[in-house]
Structure 1
Amino acid sequence: MLDLDLFPSNAPDHCPGTESELAGKADACQGCPNQQTCATSTPKGPDPALPFIRERIRSVKHKIIVLSGKGGVGKSTFTAQLGWAFAADDHVQTGIMDVDICGPSIPTIFGIASEQVHSSSTGWSPVYVQDNLGVMSVGFMLPSSRDAVMWRGPKKNGLISQFLKDVDWGDLDYLVIDTPPGTSDEHLSIVQYLKESGIDGAVLVTTPQEVALQDVRKEIDFCRKVGLPILGLVENMSGFVCPGCKTESQIFKPSTGGAERLAKETGVELLGKVPLDPRIGKSADYGVSFLDEYPDSPASIAYLNIIDSESVLHGSGALTMPLLTFVTGIKYILDDSR
């Protein structure tokens, strides 16, 4: 199903593709055996997929990317809670796109790892967790969950393009995009494709340790260089509240001020802090909503303080939508018609 003809099988990482204006000229092309062929072939134009992506994504109202600099900070878990919270309102159509090509965990977190993608005359059909919550991931396309995805950048970019132009999402209120750690080809591709059709911005997830914060600083720099709005910063694993005595302990004590100090230094809004709760991992393993299973957990309360599900009228119609009350700076995105 994946059209990889645009990328030679022996292409290096960061290959721009044979149809790119930079084919044979980019830094990544140096030393590639195909460099001369790419550089002297027919003049290149804009990515031919862009018009199809724009047309497909026109029916998506809000597009949010979830990023992290460091792996293992809970980015995919936050993406899932964001999806569960939006879809808690039956009127809200929500999609989750997993572009962590080499480490797709979203299918497991939503309890649909054994499902497969089906094609129809209108494109690929998302796998539905419930009627108003669909998911697309490379995890659905692997013969086994144990199979490693060993692709170079061009193949990853080709799949992301197909996710955007070939998946029949229908009319969506929110499309939440889970990404791999760092700033790789996947990030550049998703931003390039979505900037053409409008994107609300990115939520950055970190933990309190400096080893995670230093990578988030790079992620902030990446967002600013590519013109991706930053909606705010979330500090995950921020303390542990004992379920018995309710005392809070700092398991990962912020030695350099944590996300709060980073937010002040960079001018990025701190959206909230989510404490550790072992049941978050349990819920992910069993593919159920942590917010539904443990609504009284301090972590659930923290999530919902970030993802406010209070229904408000949006636009001129009667559709009710959960309002993100991260901070005043984000409200204009979802209250733009008020």
Structure 2
Amino acid sequence: MENMENNAPKAGSCDSCKDSSCSAAKREQNENDQDFEDRRALQSRLCHIGHKIMVMSGKGGVGKSTVAVNLAMGLMLAGKKVGLLDVDIHGPSVPTMLGLEGANIEAGPDGLMPVELGHLKVISMGFLLRNPDDAVIWRGPVKGNVIKQFLKDVAWGDLDYLIIDAPPGTGDEPLSICQLINPIDGAVVVTTPQRVAAMDVRKSITFCAQVGMKVLGVVENMSGFVCPKCGELTHILRSGGGRLMAEDMGVPFLGSIPIDPMVAESGDMGQAFVMHHSASPTAEIMRSVVAPLLELPSVKQNL
């Protein structure tokens, strides 16, 4: 798994970029040949991607991957070309949620080929594990190198959006993303309503401020239970924690997604909820969360 780069064709250099002011056009001070070529290869991928958005949370178990998958699918259903990068190295759940278990990454003429589902391109550590029960026991530097390869050596092609599903916390993976993708549009931060979760998730917003990354908005997941028979909403957990946190920290609030049994069932069945249950009220809420992302200022790609 650590030798992906040796098996992948080299990415096109920034010689193909039409932007003469591209930061990768010139060598940085004290930059060696290998680092220079790596940075140029990385930039040649990123300049073909319009918006780069990280989905993160300071706490596990809040449904962050569910939100990331449905954001990516919602953007695709809106007619956008979308990539979904799962950088949860230790617990990659995106392949399961999209019904892509058993899929493999293959080498193509321009790099490693992402797994495609309709107009959605997907990369995940889960595609590289021989056995889904295998544990990935890696330290930070190795994880950072793999994330770099996922960006630099994968033939993402022309994308309107790249959604990046980061693991819980503010450690190696989200930091690597911020260092490798510059500029990055920002982060969607996921929390659950209760105060205990919101307190941990506040650290994600602080992280964004410290690394200079914009918070595009907060999503409050599991905000009340929707009865599958009558549709009544019951607040099992304390409600409103996400909205209050967003207001207190001065960042946008994107919406509250209720606990809907069909969301969990869809993930287990490998079906993106927003696509396969598009007529449901919960899917409508998810589309309202996607809407502000569709309104981000257009980015002129250097094609």
Task: Compute the TM-score of the two structures, normalised by the length of structure 1.
Answer: 0.77
Question: Where is the helix percentage greater, Structure 1 or Structure 2?
Answer: 2
- Matched residue of 2:80: which SS? coil
CA distance in 2, matches of 1:57, 1:335: 15
1:251 lines up with 2:240 in the alignment? no
CA distance in 1, matches of 2:3, 2:81: 29
Structure 1 residues 173 and 194, CA gap change in structure 2 (3 angstroms): same
Relative contact order (alpha carbons < 8 A, sep ≥ 6): 1 or 2 greater?
A: 2
- Matched residue of 1:240: which SS? strand
The alpha carbon displacement at 1:336 in A equals 6.5
- Matched residue of 1:72: which SS? coil
The alpha carbon displacement at 1:77 in A equals 0.5
- Matched residue of 2:162: which SS? strand
What do residues 22-43 of structure 1 show as CA deviations (whole Å, max 9, x unaligned)? xxxxxxxxxxxxxxxxxxxxx9
| Equivalent residue letter for 1:324 | L
CA distance in 1, matches of 2:80, 2:226: 32
Q: Which residue of structure 2 aligns with residue 314 of structure 1?
A: none
Structure 1 residues 154 and 335, CA gap change in structure 2 (3 angstroms): closer
Q: Which residue of structure 2 aligns with residue 318 of structure 1?
A: none
From 263, 273, 278, the equivalent of 1:280 is: 263
From 231, 236, 243, the equivalent of 2:221 is: 236
Q: What residue ranges of structure 2 are gaps of 5+ in the alignment?
A: 6-28
Say whether the 8 Å CA contact 2:228–2:261 is kept in structure 1.
Answer: no
| Equivalent residue letter for 2:171 | S
The alpha carbon displacement at 1:241 in A equals 2.2
What do residues 103-123 of structure 1 show as CA deviations (whole Å, max 9, x unaligned)? 000011111011011012311
Say whether the 8 Å CA contact 1:3–1:158 is kept in structure 2.
Answer: no
Q: Which residue of structure 1 aligns with residue 2 of structure 2?
A: 2
Q: Which residue of structure 2 aligns with residue 80 of structure 1?
A: 69
The alpha carbon displacement at 1:44 in A equals 6.4
Give the count of matched residue pairs: 274
What do residues 131-175 of structure 1 show as CA deviations (whole Å, max 9, x unaligned)? x11100111001110101111111100100101110001111111
The alpha carbon displacement at 1:3 in A equals 4.6
- Matched residue of 2:210: which SS? helix
What's the % identity of the aligned pairs?
45
Which of the two has higher C-alpha Rg?
1
Q: Which residue of structure 2 aligns with residue 112 of structure 1?
A: 100
Say whether the 8 Å CA contact 2:58–2:200 is kept in structure 1.
Answer: yes
1:142 lines up with 2:129 in the alignment? yes
The alpha carbon displacement at 1:45 in A equals 3.6
Task: Compute the TM-score of the two structures, normalised by the length of structure 2.
Answer: 0.85
Say whether the 8 Å CA contact 1:272–1:306 is kept in structure 2.
Answer: yes
Q: What residue ranges of structure 1 are gaps of 5+ in the alignment?
A: 6-42, 309-322, 326-330
What do residues 89-130 of structure 1 show as CA deviations (whole Å, max 9, x unaligned)? 4x4211100000000000111110110110123110000112
What do residues 244-294 of structure 1 show as CA deviations (whole Å, max 9, x unaligned)? 33321101124xx51111111100111100011011111111111212322
Q: Which residue of structure 1 aligns with residue 153 of structure 2?
A: 166
1:212 lines up with 2:232 in the alignment? no
Q: How does 1:44-55 map to 2 (within 5 A)?
A: 45=31, 47-48=35-36, 49-55=38-44
The alpha carbon displacement at 1:306 in A equals 1.1
From 101, 112, 116, the equivalent of 1:128 is: 116
CA distance in 2, matches of 1:293, 1:3: 37
The alpha carbon displacement at 1:334 in A equals 3.2
1:334 lines up with 2:297 in the alignment? yes
| Equivalent residue letter for 1:76 | S
CA distance in 1, matches of 2:257, 2:238: 14
The alpha carbon displacement at 1:4 in A equals 9.5
Say whether the 8 Å CA contact 2:195–2:238 is kept in structure 1.
Answer: no
- Matched residue of 2:71: which SS? helix
1:266 lines up with 2:266 in the alignment? no
CA distance in 2, matches of 1:163, 1:289: 23
Q: Which residue of structure 1 aligns with residue 80 of structure 2?
A: 92
Say whether the 8 Å CA contact 1:4–1:158 is kept in structure 2.
Answer: no
- Matched residue of 1:66: which SS? strand
